[in-house]
Structure 1
């Protein structure tokens, strides 16, 4: 097993552990959080990359997989940025300084970002890929709003609100305010996606195709 595979296996285990701790503490309602969904995608991806390299060879030879990996990387990048700069200031000390919180909000995101920057080959993406990458967070926002408006499945940590995040809470804000939040986050996300697109032209392993 290569060092890259060992790294990914360790990060996959960290991600799985973090999500397991979250679900054990707060129940399946945690699956309605973007953080949990993005972390599940990340640890499942890490395990798949380990399998793919063992069975199929170096994943740097598969541009389609690298393009999908870019989407995964940006999805978890949004997790760490929104949490650290928007949500963490509102979190209690006890809920911030614990292993499960650091596993899902910092270790898994940073692990995936480092993996993509260092291990993936340069010039992995196409110009339109960042636009496609926005579909995941936009899809999540639609899902979260549908739950809040129609399904109303209870969400841990939100009192009686069926909306997982304050900036999506239509019980607290009107449609224009929530729409503005979504638009700003989407534009910021798209900017970050194109930053990754540009950075990967200069950072990473030499092209092998």
Structure 2
């Protein structure tokens, strides 16, 4: 998600001025440290949900202090413990079950506080917009888990490749499209049943970014211009 920082994420931060940020999926921290710099200089806080961070968590805490809270757990276990947040960045486990329920938990928070957060979701285009990937297949209930294999993909082909291809060592759903399959499908299914009036904006570079915004949000005044200026 860090590739969107300069043209999309930073302008959204400036326009919306979030006081509490949640990032799901930080990996090596390329986006995380930029979020924390924002928090440091704008008197905000960031919750980072990442099971296996690829950086020194203690050094991060020492530098950013109380601005940073690192939660080394599954997102669906950690999110309910965060009382309120204004901005949610989702770049963790790219499958229907996880993303749908991350959004459902954000909605539960919003029903308590009266305000749905701005949500940025990575991988809304190929390959995981319409295909599940499981970081930990055992964490997904069998009824919601597609048949999967450790085989790669190529654009324009639904079936997995026999060898090679993109993300060949990930647990990828055997088939593309269909019910309960993929990040974008999860967003669309959530929006159909949400009690909030939400708008979805989509960018298509770098595997896609979905921006989910309450229709009454002040960000609606500037977001179309941010997206147009980004060229993404």
Same-fold status (TM-score > 0.5) = no
Q: Which has the higher contact order (CA 8 A, sep 6+)?
A: 1
Q: If each structure's strand is expressed as a fraction of its own residues, which one has the higher value?
A: 2
Question: What TM bracket, shorter-length normalisation?
Answer: under 0.3
